[in-house]
Amino acid sequence: MALLSNELVKLNNLQLAGRLVSEELMLGIHHSKRFGYGIEFEQYKHYQAGDDPKRIDWKLYARTQKHLVRESSTESNYHLRLIIDLSGSMNYVEDGVSRLQYAKILLASLAYLGYRQGDMMSLYTLQNGEVQTLVSSGKQSFQRILYELEKAEAKGDWQNQNPKFPVFQQKQKEVVIFVSDFLQINEEWLNLIKNLANPHREIMAFQVLGKQETDFDLKGFYRFKDLETGKEVELQAESIKAEVIKNAQTYLKNLETALQIPFVYLLRANLGEPIANIISESLKKRKG
């Protein structure tokens, strides 16, 4: 059974949480020939006399007590560009899990997978209308990515109609991974994603939402706060429920339609959804 997001948050250890999720995914490797974004794995097989002991996955052994040897058909030639939204709305919380915490664990888990597969990796943030490079690809980029994710804080807004990304040197295929709520004033998110997608650069867009943001099952008076502008308003939940749900459904449908373009994959995750499940879904969607 996949670890729930609130269980991972309670660990209060991003490195451990990311490792546990990546190992959950590795254990399910036999269900798909293609695993991860860079390497094609054929299978895990049981260690036999004559196999190189160095190929035993000792981390999996610690959990399964089985000597499993990982086999792959090709070496990785991918660059994973991890991008985290650090605007104020990422501080939204439901059932003890913030959107920012969920995003951090999701990206840490993907970083672990990339590290195990030998992918190049880099980390970027989106905050206050600017795109910033936190970690460039290179030696020890994996550990630096975990460090930067651990200390990242969300604040401010993201309103940029023509965001400029650092120049990418495309010497190899790339997978750009966004984690955000993709809540926009105009079409700032759509413009950024559309400008980046091309045959050599696939986009995996993880949209993380809370259940109340889509279902709005609240009763009574609430003081609602815009996490980016700080503006507050007190309203009776029942009086605005129908309008909120309608607007949310319309927005999500329009976003989904707008991103039905080549080399772009949109994944929606609920804050209560196991992170291993949404990553597994993304791998299947990209393969399909």
pLDDT given at position 279:
92
Tell me, what's the pLDDT at 79? 87
In this prediction, residues 149-162 reach a mean pLDDT of: 82
Q: pLDDT category, 36, cuts 50, 70, 90?
A: low
Closest CA to 63 of 115, 28, 23, 14: 23
Task: Give the confidence band of 188 by pLDDT, cuts at 50, 70, 90.
Answer: confident
Mean per-residue pLDDT for 210-230?
A: 80
Give the model's pLDDT for residue 163: 64
Q: How confident is the model at residue 161 (pLDDT cuts 50, 70, 90)?
A: low
Q: Which of 70, 62, 65, 67 has its CA nearest to residue 29?
A: 70
pLDDT at 44: 63
Share of the chain above pLDDT 70, in %: 81
Task: State residue 266's pLDDT score.
Answer: 95
Other CB atoms within 10 A of residue 91 CB: 16
pTM for the whole thing?
Answer: 0.81
- The pLDDT of 194-216, averaged and rounded, is 89
The pair of three-digit structure tokens given for residue 271, joined into one six-digit string: 């804050």
Q: In this predicted structure, what is the pLDDT of residue 152?
A: 96
Beta bridge partners of 283: none
pLDDT at residue number 75: 47
Q: What is the structure's pLDDT at 116?
A: 83
Q: In 3D, which of 92, 50, 95, 83 has the Cα closest to residue 69?
A: 50
The tokens describing 266, both together, are 């949109």
List, for residues 239-281, the tens digit of each pLDDT value.
888 888 898 899 999 999 999 999 999 999 999 999 999 999 9
What per-residue confidence (pLDDT) applies to 20? 92
What integer is the mean pLDDT of 38-57? 63
